[in-house]
Every structure is written in structure tokens, then in C-alpha cells.
Amino acid sequence: DAKTTQPPSMDCAEGRAANLPCNHSTISGNEYVYWYRQIHSQGPQYIIHGLKNNETNEMASLIITEDRKSSTLILPHATLRDTAVYYCIVRVALRSQGNLIFGKGTKLSVKP
């Protein structure tokens, strides 16, 4: 699985959009980009994933560059409850999606 690089921490004002970047320059054609988050030592929570097209769900949007070497997770209106560590993970999609390799992630602090 390709390696990812994320900033160790970011701040965001409550109500503003949080844009979390991720670099994955060695991503292969059959590898997907997944985002999970972990709120204060709780179990990781799935957010979104994508291959090459931009994706949106009720939690967030995922923007993947055309060359697929980087992506951005967007939380459109961050709340205090979005304070968490966000993990960008690149992996080949298989039937079992659980063999996830977590990095250190980005610690997002949403401030009032």
C-alpha cells in the first residue's frame, strides 16, 4: 500500500470549512484513498473513500487531484465535535476493507 503524508496538526474555526490535505505521490492505479477519524481514543470511524472522482457524503467531501498524487478532505462546516485525528489511508480495495494501515494522521482542533 502506498505511503501517505499528512500535516501533524491543524486548527479550524467552528462553522468554517476544514480542509485536510494528504499527499500520496506513489499511489498505484488500483489503490483507493480512504479517510477515517478517531475522536479521543474512541474506535476509528469511516468517513469517505474514492478512487479518482470527487466524492461527497453526509459527512464530508473528498477532492482527489487529477494525477491522484494528493487529496483533500473537506468538512464543510466544522463543529467542535469534529475535533479528532484524521487518517488518510491508501490501499487496494478488496472485499475485506478492514486491513487498514494507520499513520499518525492530522490532529484537527476545531475552536469556538
Partner 1 sequence: EPEVTQTPSHQVTQMGQEVILRCVPISNHLYFYWYRQILGQKVEFLVSFYNNEISEKSEIFDDQFSVERPDGSNFTLKIRSTKLEDSAMYFCASSEDNKTNVNTEAFFGQGTRLTVV
List of residues contacting partner 1 (CB under 8 A): 32, 38, 41-46, 49, 87, 93-104
Minimum distance of partner 1 from residue 95's CB (angstroms): 6
Q: How many CB atoms within 10 Å of residue 6?
A: 21
Q: Tell me the C-alpha distance between 28 and 14, whole Å.
A: 36
The smaller minimum CB distance to partner 1, of residues 67 and 95, is found at 95
Minimum distance of partner 1 from residue 36's CB (angstroms): 8
Minimum distance of partner 1 from residue 13's CB (angstroms): 27
Q: Which one, of 43, 55, 52, lies nearest residue 70 by Cα?
A: 52
The smaller minimum CB distance to partner 1, of residues 66 and 94, is found at 94
The smaller minimum CB distance to partner 1, of residues 79 and 97, is found at 97
The smaller minimum CB distance to partner 1, of residues 81 and 94, is found at 94
Q: How many CB atoms within 10 Å of residue 110?
A: 20
Minimum distance of partner 1 from residue 57's CB (angstroms): 11
